[in-house]
Amino acid sequence: MADSDKTDEEWRAELGDARYNIVRCGGTEMAFTGEYWDTKTAGTYHCSACDAPLYSSETKYDSGSGWPSFWEALDKSSVKKKRDSSHGMERVEATCAICDSHLGHVFTDGPKPTGMRHCINSASLKLKAS
């Protein structure tokens, strides 16, 4: 079954309630609580829902935000960006290009060379160490 064909009930059963709330419903984990916010392990971060490769540890940096932050995606086509006007804010949401799962948000206050900060929920990621 393709990820796009899964029902909400199937996603919830596969991901569990907490991860489902973040990945499929656009929730956010609390800062400094996620598994990867301060991880320094080398490897590739994959989507926790569909296993698509999303980010490299080589572009991960400490933004001080309490969430895993990357200055660019592994491949420009692996992460979709869309307008998010929820919670009374205008932001850019980052989603998995394969399964449309919520990853986090993208901001323009990151480091060189891109100046971007992909602020991503640990619950949306699965690190495969290299």
Which residues neighbour 101 within 8 Å (Cβ) at sequence distance 6 or greater?
23, 24, 47, 48, 49, 50, 95, 124
Domain with residue 82: its CATH number is 2.170.150.20
Task: Please determine, for residue 52, whether its predicted confidence score (pLDDT) is greater than 80.
Answer: yes
Using CA atoms, how far apart are residues 47 and 124, in angstroms rounded to an integer?
6
Predicted confidence at residue 4, as pLDDT, reads 64
In a domain, 30, yes or no: yes
The tally of domains found in the chain comes to 1
Q: For residues 95 and 89, which has the higher predicted lDDT (pLDDT)? A: 95
Using CA atoms, how far apart are residues 118 and 63, in angstroms rounded to an integer?
10
Residue pair 15/96 in contact by the 8 Å Cβ criterion? no
In a domain, 16, yes or no: yes
Q: 119 an active-site residue?
A: yes
In a domain, 1, yes or no: no
In a domain, 62, yes or no: yes
Q: Could you write out the three-class secondary structure of 30-75?
A: CCCCCCCCCCCCCEEEEECCCCCEEEEHHHEECCCCCCCEECCCCC
Task: Please determine, for residue 90, whether its predicted confidence score (pLDDT) is greater than 90.
Answer: no
Angle at 65 between CA 118 and CA 16, to 5 degrees: 70
In a domain, 2, yes or no: no
Task: Please determine, for residue 3, whether its predicted confidence score (pLDDT) is greater than 70.
Answer: no
pLDDT in tens, 16-47: 999 999 999 999 999 999 999 999 999 999 99
Provide the residue range defining the domain that includes 120: 7-129
